[in-house]
Amino acid sequence: DTEVTQTPKHLVMGMTNKKSLKCEQHMGHRAMYWYKQKAKKPPELMFVYSYEKLSINESVPSRFSPECPNSSLLNLHLHALQPEDSALYLCASSRTQGETQYFGPGTRLLVL
């Protein structure tokens, strides 16, 4: 089983809203990732968690706040987003850092 689940599938939010994206995997993977993908562009890495600790932040604005409450769960908290933050947000996991990454279906976010 190589399933990574993400909720919600779609999200519309205003610039003053606070919302959260959720990612879950039950493969025992200890590395989890957030990517952002704009239309017609490849995915770009945002954050990496390894053993529930943040190991990489690719200079992401503070309006995006990741959280890894346990080894199976990864959240992305959103606050005061801009319309240009509208994108497909992808979660991935791998057994450990550097190993094959498996992606979830993504959350399509629209910021109005």
Partner 1 sequence: DAKTTQPTSMDCAEGRAANLPCNHSTISGNEYVYWYRQIHSQGPQYIIHGLKNNETNEMASLIITEDRKSSTLILPHATLRDTAVYYCIVRRPDSGYALNFGKGTSLLVTP
Nearer to partner 1, 31 or 81 (CB): 31
Tokens of 56: 């990489």
Nearer to partner 1, 46 or 81 (CB): 46
What residue type is 92 in one-letter code? A
Nearer to partner 1, 9 or 69 (CB): 9
Q: Is 48 exposed, middle or buried (0-12, 13-18, 19+ CB in 10 A)?
A: buried
In the complex, least distance from residue 34 CB atom to partner 1, rounded to whole angstroms? 11
Q: How far is CA 46 from CA 38, 60, 87, in A?
A: 13, 6, 13
Which residues pair with residue 102 across a beta bridge? 93
- Within 76-105, the residues that bind partner 1 by CB under 8 A are 88, 90, 92, 97-105
- Within 2-41, the residues that bind partner 1 by CB under 8 A are 2, 4, 6, 31, 33
Q: Residue 101 in contact with residue 93, Cβ under 8 Å?
A: yes
Name the pairing type of β-strands 107-111 and 87-94.
antiparallel
Instruction: Candidates 14-22, 42-50, 59-67, 72-80: pick the segment binding partner 1 (CB under 8 A).
Output: 42-50
Q: Which residues bind partner 1 (CB under 8 A)?
A: 2, 4, 6, 31, 33, 42-45, 48, 55-56, 58, 88, 90, 92, 97-106, 108
